[in-house]
Amino acid sequence: MRRSPYWQMALATVLFACMGVCVKLASEHFGTAAVVGMRGFVGAVMMAAIAWGTGTSLRTSVPRLHLQRGLSGVLALSLWFYCIGHLPLATAVTLNYMSSVWMAVFLIGQIAWARHQGRDGRRVDPRLVAAIAVGFAGVALVLHPTLARDQLGAGVVGLVSGMLAAMAYVQVTALGRAGEPEVRVVFHFSLMGTVLGAGLGVVEAWAQGTPHADALADIPAMAWAELIGVGAFATIAQLLMTRAYARGSMLVNASLQYLGIVHASLFGMWLFHEHLGPGSVLGMLLIVGAGMVATRFKPA
């Protein structure tokens, strides 16, 4: 039976939350580079298998677009994974969901610049500007508790990851307009993550001066399973989300996507005994509301 796109989106949010759990657990034994590299490797293998099964070519005529999307996306992912390892899970996930608000900021900036040059007569909806202000007010509330726990740096990293994720989403749109199928887009992104993650991992190992073989021998088997889980959960969730957006309403899917914050909060309380104060909860609600408004009223 063909599943509803909204059921697929809801399931994707659960799987992305499961990915966050695996990232947090794996980060106790692996550096951020290793987590990013394995997420990319598992994704590349899965997407190559799907491409082979469906007869989809992985060759591209727009390598520069893939390179730009890969660099911004992998950097955003690296910063987000670092954030997950150093902040409460729900906080890290919420900061990354600021990408919708950042996209609105970018679009307003583009319109303002085009109007300044006399190339665009569009006006920005005041509700969009209000949504951006509310979103950043939410960030202030979410980050406020981190001041007392010396986690402000990780919070800023999470905020920047959302900004870079917004840039990556803009580039994904460009790839779609260029006619690139989703399998090819995800494969090249995963391949970039594998290469950059492996390269950064070698640099980390060299800087720390730890013998590579000895370090691997000390890592428990469960940690390896958690590392592989990062890639598996993320890839399946990404496919479900892509299909949901292709078949369903963008506004409904964007709204359902914020279920990920709820799942992350529940997992954080259940598995990591994390507690969210009233200010953090209010900040999350403001960010969710701002993101939904930004999606609804952003310029075409």
Section 149-165 average pLDDT = 86
Q: What is the mean pLDDT of the chain?
A: 85
299 pLDDT exceeds 60? no
**Distances in whole angstroms, Cα of residue 138 to Cα of each of 66, 132, 164, 169:** 33, 10, 19, 22
Instruction: Provide the number of structural domains found in the chain.
Output: 1
Output 139 or 233, whichever has higher pLDDT: 233
Selected residue with higher pLDDT from 47 and 2: 47
Least confident span in 106-110, 162-166, 213-217, 236-240 = 213-217
Give the mean pLDDT of 34-42: 95
Q: Which amino acid is at 161?
A: S
Lowest mean pLDDT among 38-42, 95-99, 144-148, 263-267: 144-148
Provide the 10 A C-beta neighbour count for residue 58: 15
pLDDT-based confidence at residue 1 (cuts at 50, 70, 90): very low
* Three-class SS state of 274: coil
| 283-295 mean pLDDT | 87
Containing domain of residue 149, as a range? 5-297
